[in-house]
Amino acid sequence: MELKNYIKIKRALLSVTDKTNLLSLAKCLSELGCELISTGGTAKVLSEAGIKYTEIGTVTGNPEAFGGRMKTISFAIESALLFDREKDKEEAERLGISPIDLVVCNLYDFEKYVRAGSGLSELIEHIDVGGPTMIRAGAKNFKYVAVVTDPKDYAGIIEELTTNEGALSYNTKQRLMTKAFNLTADYDAAIAQAMDKFSGEDSLRIALKGGKPLRYGENSHQQATMYRRSSSEHSLYDVSSYNGIELSYNNILDMQAAIETVVTLNRQGCVIVKHNNPCGMAESNSQLNSLELAWAGDTVSAFGGIVAFNTLVDLPTARFFEYDNEDKSKKKFIELITAPAFTDEALQYLKLQKNLRIVTYLPEMLSASNELRVTNDMALLQSTDNKLSSKMELATKNEFPLEEWESLISFGLAAVRHIKSNAIALVRATGDGVLQLIGMGSGQPNRLDSIGLAIKKAKKNLNVSSFENEQIVLISDAFFPFEDNVDAANEVGIKTLVQPGGSIRDKYVIERANSYGMNMILTGIRHFKH
């Protein structure tokens, strides 16, 4: 190793709230001849393990005081971390300051008490002051000082110390410095946000990291970057890619819409998304059958779309795309295919399409409880739309076997929830529990136009002029404001309508449905998506 890039760790300060795996690091340091300085609870853990250490008061010249509020903050400690080992060397010696080369510190879990709903006085007691001070001091002087704030880093630090006779590299110290400053920034943001709330003003401070340039934005002349929320345990940022060119802004939005929709399906499900709208969707007991039905739901829109599955993709499903067909016109062009996993055979087959993006995800990546939209120097925050319905109420007079139709209705609600408003989904059951999206209308300023688009698409897909004797449901994302919506459905033989209800004209809409002998189910939940 090049010694000039490594610093020998001769003296370390250990002061941690989370003591996970601390002893393994402390033992390693001690065995390498490093002097350990420790505080309070951390010192007790070292003592019980028989690891020699120096009490913090021996260095500071002062006892711990004020119920533990004062432990490490002192001229001696901060100087030992901050002084420049070259230009300040003589002054440090004159002042009797011995360098500290390593700080192992994590902070009071302030956010734990925020989540628990603690009052202001209790929260104040869980604001760490000494810890951030040490961390920032050591991080500022990272050329000479290593700052370890995460127990997950201990194993790597131990390996490097052992390999390099107790020394750490400049690159390691720089990486730890970056992590340290992110920790204190997030910590201060959490405190400020909590204090703002107690002062009567909500604020939102979000830390994003890992800026990753995308191929382009919504259009090729726009630049785009993807970030990961620092505090998120799971994120779609972490999907794994196995093939194809880099992702674009639109790919990610469409992929998110596809995955969010397909994970709500109960059996072997497939969803095809184009321009952020599900245009094909099916579930059955066969993955290949579900893909075939989803594709048949809108073969034109499926071109260049995103295909998502909720189960492992096998070779028979992969072969549907005909990437080994010598007739290029037979190959089905899609931008991206995503699933929880692919068999090796399926993966190798799909890689025949050089530019096809192949992505795996974990269902827990969709676990976020809030949605954030940032635009034009403002932000909008809302809870996720994760509830299909609050009731299943038959509002019309006909006898109707609602329980027998409930799975089809839920399937349609799962589709309409992700279609841009005004949204209409036409879904059908074809036997053996097979469910299929056969037509959808989206993004229209009025609901009647969306109904017209959905009906037109479904007629073309099924090659029919009406839907008499079909087990078909028309799902609306919001209430029917006028009776003309009911008229349009009745004209083509659709007899079952699902809507949230809530209009001041519900009475008249329901009366019109009764006059046609139709079934109308109210769900109580609207699903606008803009």
Q: Please give the torsion angle defined by the CA atoms of residues 166, 170, 174 and 175, in that order, rounded to the nearest 10 degrees.
A: -60
Candidates 275, 332, 397, 460; catalytic one: 275
Largest CA distance in the chain: 98
What domains are there in the chain, each with its CATH number? 3-198 (3.40.50.1380), 214-366 (3.40.140.20), 393-522 (3.40.140.20)
> What distance lies between CA 438 and its chain's CA centroid?
30
pLDDT digits (tens, 9 = 90+) for 505-515: 999 999 999 99
Q: What is the mean pLDDT of the chain?
A: 93
Average the pLDDT over 441-447 and give the result. Answer: 93
DSSP per-residue letters across 34-79? -EEEE-HHHHHHHHHTT---EEHHHHHSS--BGGGTBSS-SHHHHH
Residue 391 banded pLDDT, cuts 50, 70, 90: very high
Whether the Cβ atoms of residue 54 and residue 80 lie closer than 8 Å to each other: no
Nearest alpha carbon to residue 131 among 178, 175, 187? 187
Residue 2 has pLDDT above 50, yes or no: no
C-alpha pair distances (Å), 471 with each of 58, 292, 392, 499: 82, 19, 18, 17
Whether the Cβ atoms of residue 30 and residue 51 lie closer than 8 Å to each other: yes
The span from the CA of 232 to the CA of 360, in Å, is 19
DSSP tag of 396 = S
Residue 320 has pLDDT above 90, yes or no: yes
pLDDT digits (tens, 9 = 90+) for 175-214: 999 999 999 999 999 999 999 999 999 998 888 889 999 9
Residue 315 has pLDDT above 50, yes or no: yes
Give the global pTM.
Answer: 0.84
Check if 126 is active-site.
no
Residue 440 has pLDDT above 70, yes or no: yes
The span from the CA of 301 to the CA of 279, in Å, is 7
Candidates 140, 332, 397, 460; catalytic one: 140
Residue 349 has pLDDT above 70, yes or no: yes
Average the pLDDT over 161-178 and give the result. Answer: 95
The SS3 assignment for 121 reads helix
Q: What residue type is assigned to position 201 of the chain? A: E
Report pLDDT for 347: 97
Report pLDDT for 375: 85
Check if 140 is active-site.
yes
Residue 3 has pLDDT above 80, yes or no: no
Report pLDDT for 1: 41
Q: Please give the torsion angle defined by the CA atoms of residues 179, 184, 189 and 192, in that order, rounded to the nearest 10 degrees.
A: 180
pLDDT digits (tens, 9 = 90+) for 365-375: 987 888 888 88
Each residue of 218-247: b (16+ CB within 10 Å) or e? Answer: eeeeeebeeebebeeeebbbebeeebbeeb
Whether the Cβ atoms of residue 471 and residue 495 lie closer than 8 Å to each other: no
Report pLDDT for 68: 81
Residue 470 has pLDDT above 90, yes or no: no
Tokens at residue 446, please? 């009025």
